[in-house]
Structures are given as structure tokens and as C-alpha cells.
Amino acid sequence: MTTAATERDALAGTVARAAADVPGVAFLRPGLADLFRPSARTGPPRAAAGRAPAGVRVSRASATGPWEVDVQIVVHRDRHALTVARTVRDAVTTALSATAPGAQVTVTVTNAV
């Protein structure tokens, strides 16, 4: 694995943890629904170790350009989607302030459960 890829995966891990901890976030999309529904017998395969977590995409246009972070979340039904999305954006921005200052964070609410 290249250094760049390692760095990207590390950033993605940071983003996923910061986003998942925000109140009102049920899980990151796609796919971790099975963790939250013990009744489900089948479900998506868990992300293989070392691969970017579900629901997070990290990229940059050039080696020195700002990081672009895309987070897809599923929120709890009774939560205000915009408020949760803003809190996720702020939490992710803060979490990246040391390692990737100036990162552009996009948050998409894909569903409510």
C-alpha cells in the first residue's frame, strides 16, 4: 500500500469515528444496518480491514490540494436532519483540523430509521 493510500485510509477512519459519534446519527451508509438490527440474518459483508469505512469517501484532486471528504449518514427518525448534518460537518472538520486542515466536508443524509 502506498503512503498516500495509507494516509487516505487513516483520514477516512478519523472521519467515520467522528461522524458516528454525533448524536442523531444511526449509522453511516451504506451498509452497517446489520450492526443495529440484531434480527437481520443476512446483511452486507463487513468492510475488510484496511479498506475505507462505509459511508465515507476521502479524495483530493492533487497531492497538495485540499482534501475532499464525503460523508453519508442515516439519522434517527425523530432528529432534525439539517441539525445532525451540520453537527457531523463540524465534528468532522474539527477532527481533521490537525491532519487535514481546510478539508472540504460534504454531508448527505440518505435515510432515517
Partner 1 sequence: MAMNSGAELPGSGTGPGSGGADVPAEDERLACGRMLSEVWEAWEDGADDPARDPHLRACPHCSAAVRQLDLLGAAVREAGGGREPEWDAGALTERVMDVVRLELRPGRPLPLGEREEDLWVREAMAAKALRAAAETVPGVRAGSCRIRPAESGGSPSRGPVRVRLEVVVPLTPRLRDLAEEVRRRVRGAADDALGLPVDHVDVHITDVTDPAGADPGGVGAEEGNQP
Stretch that binds partner 1, among 1-9, 13-21, 55-63, 75-83 (CB under 8 A): 75-83
Stretch that binds partner 1, among 3-11, 46-54, 84-92, 95-103 (CB under 8 A): 84-92
Report the nearest approach of partner 1 to the CB of residue 13 (Å).
Answer: 21
Q: Is 94 in the site for partner 1 (CB under 8 A)?
A: no
Measured on CA atoms in the order 99, 102, 108, 109, is the torsion positive or negative?
positive
DSSP annotation of 112 reads E
Q: Is 106 in the site for partner 1 (CB under 8 A)?
A: yes
Whether the CB-CB separation of 74 and 27 falls below 8 Å is answered with yes
Applying the rule CB under 8 A, the residues between 31 and 70 that interact with partner 1 are 31, 33, 39-44
CA distances from 79 to 4, 22, 82 (A): 37, 12, 9
Phi, psi at residue 60, to the nearest 5°?
A: -150, 145
Report the nearest approach of partner 1 to the CB of residue 34 (Å).
Answer: 8
Phi, psi at residue 105, to the nearest 5°?
A: -105, 125
Contact footprint for partner 1 (CB under 8 A):
30-31, 33, 39-44, 80-83, 85-86, 89, 104-112
